[in-house]
């Protein structure tokens, strides 16, 4: 179930946050406060929300924490502005790209008093994800996890949460979000690949990796499989359900990057060959043929403004 609520007062924001997640006490707010909550409850144990607000701070007091009826973790990506998150004896500074984790059954303080705040949040029951209690406890004790830009598993979770696929049922989406959340937490404790258990989770994670490395001309599917701790066969099986393949997906990403470069107001220098190489193609002729199949015109025609029918 999804809901979007907009408010213009601290009391209303406190009510919205408390009803979507857990009861909080809203402290100082900026004059002319406004807030917007986009909240999706996927099942009884997991929810996703995008919270956009003016500056404020909120406290989960010890009294409120003692009355907690669940064992949820908050996994939060700071998308804009700065602040701090405090839980137990730890206080961590957050800025765009920071990932924080804290428990709802323990007191915490989020100080988002700087203006133009936005957080993407996943709230998940600890008992519903397949990780040892010790690892979950240590993750919460750390408060901060590796930054979004530095952690592929964090990018996979939050990119999926930001664009919850509408074609799948809430139960299917909840399973994938839970799987990616577990992979993100686990990855903070090991240097080895952490493979999502679900096929959709693996496919999304690999797609994220292919987007991140699309310009790498040396990238092979064997490298991708090894990076994710799976066989090439398992890698291709993960894409079969979507009617594609990892190689085809990578090619489409590279072509989209090229089309964007050709469409830019400031055209890239060096001609078609330079763009082909910059987008991960080893052969300009192969690039031109693939571009024409995808867009119906050659790169030169696209660059000249002919975008086909």
Q: Are 201 and 181 contacting, i.e. CB atoms less than 8 angstroms apart?
A: no
- Residue segments in the chain with a per-residue pLDDT below the cut of 50: none
Mark whether 140 and 275 lie in a shared domain: no
Residue 304: the pLDDT is 83
Q: Are 39 and 21 contacting, i.e. CB atoms less than 8 angstroms apart?
A: no
Residue 269: the pLDDT is 74
Q: Is residue 94 part of a domain?
A: yes
What is the extent of the structural domain holding 81?
2-145
Tokens of residue 159, six digits: 């990119």
**Final residue belonging to a domain, choices 122, 145, 168:** 145
Q: Is residue 204 part of a domain?
A: no
Tell me the per-residue pLDDT of 182-226, one tens digit each, with 9 for 90 and over.
999 999 999 888 999 999 999 999 999 999 999 999 999 999 999
Mark whether 13 and 139 lie in a shared domain: yes
Residue 1: the pLDDT is 65
Mark whether 7 and 137 lie in a shared domain: yes
Tell me the per-residue pLDDT of 243-284, one tens digit each, with 9 for 90 and over.
999 999 999 999 999 999 988 877 667 789 999 999 999 999
Residue 16: the pLDDT is 92
Q: Is residue 168 part of a domain?
A: no
**Final residue belonging to a domain, choices 97, 117, 145:** 145
Mark whether 11 and 140 lie in a shared domain: yes
Query: How many structural domains comprise the chain?
Result: 2
Q: Is residue 160 part of a domain?
A: no
Give the Cα separation of 247 and 239 in Å (integer). 10
Mark whether 135 and 266 lie in a shared domain: no
Q: What is the CATH number of the domain that holds 56?
A: 2.60.120.10
Residue 26: the pLDDT is 86
**Final residue belonging to a domain, choices 145, 180, 195:** 145
Give the Cα separation of 22 and 19 in Å (integer). 6
Phi-psi category of residue 229: left, alpha or beta, with phi > 0 → left and psi -120 to 50 → alpha:
left
Give the Cα separation of 104 and 239 in Å (integer). 37
Q: List beta partners, residue 170.
A: none
Tokens of residue 58, six digits: 């909120």
Q: Is residue 181 part of a domain?
A: no
Taken as a whole, the chain contains a residue count of: 309
Q: Is residue 29 part of a domain?
A: yes
Q: Is residue 98 part of a domain?
A: yes
Mark whether 141 and 265 lie in a shared domain: no
Q: Is residue 82 part of a domain?
A: yes
């Amino acid at each position: 179930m999804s809901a979007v609520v907009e408010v213009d007062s601290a009391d209303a924001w406190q009510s919205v946050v408390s009803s979507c997640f857990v009861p909080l006490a809203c402290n100082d707010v900026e004059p002319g406060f406004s807030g917007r909550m986009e909240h999706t409850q996927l099942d009884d144990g997991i929810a996703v929300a995008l919270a956009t607000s003016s500056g404020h701070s909120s406290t989960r007091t010890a009294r409120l924490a003692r009355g907690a009826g669940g064992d949820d973790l908050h996994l939060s990506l700071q998308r804009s502005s700065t602040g701090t998150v405090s839980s137990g004896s730890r206080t961590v500074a957050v800025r765009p790209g920071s990932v924080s984790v804290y428990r709802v059954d323990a007191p915490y303080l989020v100080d988002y008093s700087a203006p133009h705040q936005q957080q993407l949040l996943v709230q998940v029951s600890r008992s519903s994800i397949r990780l040892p209690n010790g690892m979950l406890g240590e993750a919460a004790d750390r408060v901060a996890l590796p930054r979004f830009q530095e952690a592929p598993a964090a990018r996979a979770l939050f990119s999926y949460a930001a664009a919850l696929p509408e074609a799948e049922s809430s139960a299917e989406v909840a399973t994938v979000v839970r799987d990616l959340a577990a992979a993100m937490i686990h990855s903070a404790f090991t240097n080895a690949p952490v493979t999502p258990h679900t096929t959709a989770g693996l496919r999304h994670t690999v797609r994220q990796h292919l987007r991140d490395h699309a310009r790498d001309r040396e990238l092979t599917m064997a490298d991708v499989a090894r990076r994710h701790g799976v066989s090439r066969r398992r890698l291709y099986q993960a894409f079969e359900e979507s009617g594609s393949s990892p190689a085809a997906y990578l090619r489409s990403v590279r072509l989209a990057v090229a089309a964007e470069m050709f469409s830019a107001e400031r055209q890239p220098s060096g001609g078609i060959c330079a763009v082909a190489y910059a987008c991960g193609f080893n052969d300009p002729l192969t690039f031109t043929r693939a571009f024409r199949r995808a867009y119906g015109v050659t790169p030169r025609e696209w660059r000249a403004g002919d975008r086909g029918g």
